[in-house]
Amino acid sequence: MYKLNENYHITAPCSPVTTGLMARQFKVDISPESFVINPVVLPHQGIVVILGMNWMVENDAVLHVGIREVQLKSKVTGKILKVHILEQKHIEATVNTTELQEIKKIPVVCEFLDVFSEELPGLPPDRDVEFKIDLVLGTAPVSRRPYRMALDELKELKTQLQEQLDKGFIRPNQGGKRLCVDYRSLNAVTVKNKYPLPHIDILFDQLAGAKVFSKIDLRSGYYQIKIREKDIPKTAFSTRYGLYEYLVMSFGLTNAPAFFMYMMNSVFMNELDKFVVVFIDDILVYSKNEEEHEEHLRTVLTRLREHQLYAKFNKCAFWLRKGVAVDPSKVEDVLSWKQPKIVTEIRSFLSLAGYYRRFIKDFSKTAKPMTSLTKKNTKYLWDPKCEEAFTSLKKSLTSTPVLAQPDVTKPFDVYCDASAMGLALRKHEANYATHDLELAAVVHDLKIWRHYLLGNTCHIYTDHKSLKYILTQPELNMRQQRWLELIKDYDLEIHYHPRKANVVADALSRRAHCNVIEI
């Protein structure tokens, strides 16, 4: 095995990797003949070798799909060698040119080769902020014995320890796997950093009107922040190979995400929510057109250069034109989820699938048969409706739309219709008069979309004609008066929309109503 002069970037659907290793004179036996190849070495387990299209062309291989057979002509005897496919695995991978060559092709990005260094240059520079570990007063030093590890894990541990020693990230203490120390005992006695992490939906809302995007992912972001000198001994961890301590922020420390978020917000304070959103070590640059994006992207990369922060090129994407969509590689866990057997498994599935609910129309209604089983004192009975809901949610994730962001410069149109299920009414609320139920639907919409509607003009369309007079109606009951106080905060007009025209809202509410009757 030898090291190449340049790295190869291997692009595959779920796991892009970079390698600089090649095996010399690797022998592949296809009885009774042997073939010698020089394969690129990848960090994948379970697959010994991939014989790609180049090798098949070179050896005049003929693939017979119908009988699952590959035929090769022996270069020694001239005989036909037949190989039957016992197990079929589809692996789509492309070996690209080096990252350096790829970067040079991308506008603006090509000016910042130093930001996309293939390795962190070593210990981070001194910054205005350092990661602190403040302990609860009176806390004794935390100490834990090392876990017992398998041989493969010990080998990986030794490799990572040496790598981090070479980079200066750790040092001996005198007293794919990512090295993540079990800091639960330390975290339990650490004063918590309450710096807030932004809500993902709020970040998405900032993208209104944007047409061009670039995503930048920092390279081992935590390792780019130093730990305060006096707190370094607190990170000490014990291994079979000795006692070590971190000089940089480690994975597993309770305040690490909040502190990193604080630092990134400080770096991009002037650009935040103008053309940049940040979530921990992920940076999204968004613009209305290419001219703007060129300026915005250059500004962001300049900030990274100024603060000596480094990005990982093969995790970045530039000059994208798609909006907000589900990353197919991220929903694999949901799609492969087996039928839940207990309530806890249902909750786990709904929690994971719920992360993508904004991409799935009628998520709550579709999931209703499953959520019903999570209620207290409910007998667990997985019926055909539950199976249909389970299958439907997984299927929906494979055909999710690309979402457009709201344009706050234009009026909002809201179509609503009362639904006992959609509003999740209590028993006494379900007995409201029709007029109050329809008004409750309007109030519900205003509360749910308050962050969009407040301060903007909106038009409410309902199939209940009398609601259009609610703002001028002289006599109101106490409930209506209370709701009217909320409605007056909005710049809105209520319009009558006949049921035959209000087909979307009406269909959804009627469908829900029918489900209630069936149950």
Q: What is the pLDDT of residue 305?
A: 92
H/E stretch holding 265: helix 256-267
pLDDT at 297 over 60: yes
Beta strands 242-246; 170-172: pairing state = antiparallel
Q: What is the pLDDT of residue 302?
A: 93
Share of the chain above pLDDT 70, in %: 74
Top-confidence range, 299-308, 357-366, 440-449: 299-308
Give ∠ CA 375-378-381 in degrees, rounded to 5. Answer: 115
The rounded distance, in Å, linking the Cα atoms of 435 and 39 is 73
The 491-496 sheet, strands edge to edge = 412-416, 457-462, 491-496
What pLDDT band is residue 513 in, cutting at 50, 70 and 90?
Answer: very low
Q: What is the pLDDT of residue 403?
A: 60
359-384 burial, b at 16+ Cβ within 10 Å, e below that, comes to: bbeebebbbbbbeebeeeeeeeeeee
**Predicted confidence (pLDDT) per residue in 73-95, tens digit:** 776 676 777 766 555 554 545 44
- Spatial contact of 478 and 485, defined as CB atoms under 8 Å apart: no
- Spatial contact of 247 and 226, defined as CB atoms under 8 Å apart: yes
Q: How far is CA 425 from CA 22, 362, 363, 429, 431, in A?
A: 65, 17, 18, 6, 9
Kindly tell me the burial class for residue 96, based on how many C-beta atoms sit within 10 Å of its own C-beta (0-12, 13-18, 19 or more): middle
Q: How far is CA 37 from CA 40, 56, 272, in A?
A: 10, 12, 51
Beta strands 457-462; 491-496: pairing state = parallel
The rounded distance, in Å, linking the Cα atoms of 152 and 56 is 34
Average pLDDT rounded to a whole number, residues 238-259: 80
Average pLDDT rounded to a whole number, residues 99-112: 78
Residues in the chain: 519
**Going by C-beta distance under 8 Å and a sequence separation of 6 or more, which residues neighbour residue 368?**
389, 421, 515
pLDDT at 24 over 60: yes
For 137, phi then psi, to 5°, come to -55, 140
The 2-11 sheet, strands edge to edge = 17-22, 2-11, 94-96
In the numeric block, which tokens belong to residue 430? 């379900």
The rounded distance, in Å, linking the Cα atoms of 517 and 225 is 59
Average pLDDT rounded to a whole number, residues 256-270: 88
Q: What is the pLDDT of residue 178?
A: 47
Sequential DSSP letters for 108-135: TGGG-GGGG-SS--SSPPP-S--B--PB
- Spatial contact of 18 and 27, defined as CB atoms under 8 Å apart: no
What pLDDT band is residue 45 in, cutting at 50, 70 and 90?
Answer: low
Q: Which of 56, 57, 55, 60 is nearest to 79 (CA)?
A: 60
Q: At what angle do helices 384-397 and 363-372 cross, to 10 degrees?
A: 140
For 3, phi then psi, to 5°, come to -90, 130
Residue 378: HSE in the Cβ half-sphere, 13 Å Cα cutoff: 13
pLDDT at 293 over 80: yes
Average pLDDT rounded to a whole number, residues 176-204: 70
Would you state the torsion angle of the CA atoms of residues 154, 160, 164, 165, taken in this order, to the nearest 10 degrees?
Answer: 40
Top-confidence range, 15-24, 372-381, 462-471: 372-381
pLDDT at 257 over 80: yes
The rounded distance, in Å, linking the Cα atoms of 273 and 292 is 15
H/E stretch holding 304: helix 290-306
For 259, phi then psi, to 5°, come to -65, -40
pLDDT at 464 over 50: yes
In the numeric block, which tokens belong to residue 190? 């650490």
**Predicted confidence (pLDDT) per residue in 339-371, tens digit:** 888 888 888 888 877 777 777 777 888 888 888
Amino acid letter, 101 = Q
- Spatial contact of 353 and 364, defined as CB atoms under 8 Å apart: no
Average pLDDT score over the chain: 76
Report whether the peptide linkage leading into residue 32 is cis, meaning its omega lies within 30 degrees of zero. Answer: yes
pLDDT at 204 over 60: yes
Q: 3-class DSSP state for residue 494?
A: strand
The rounded distance, in Å, linking the Cα atoms of 396 and 371 is 17
**pTM of the predicted model as reported, rounded to 2 decimal places:** 0.55
Q: 3-class DSSP state for residue 57?
A: helix
97-109 burial, b at 16+ Cβ within 10 Å, e below that, comes to: ebbeebbeebebb
Residue 498: HSE in the Cβ half-sphere, 13 Å Cα cutoff: 2
Average pLDDT rounded to a whole number, residues 481-506: 73
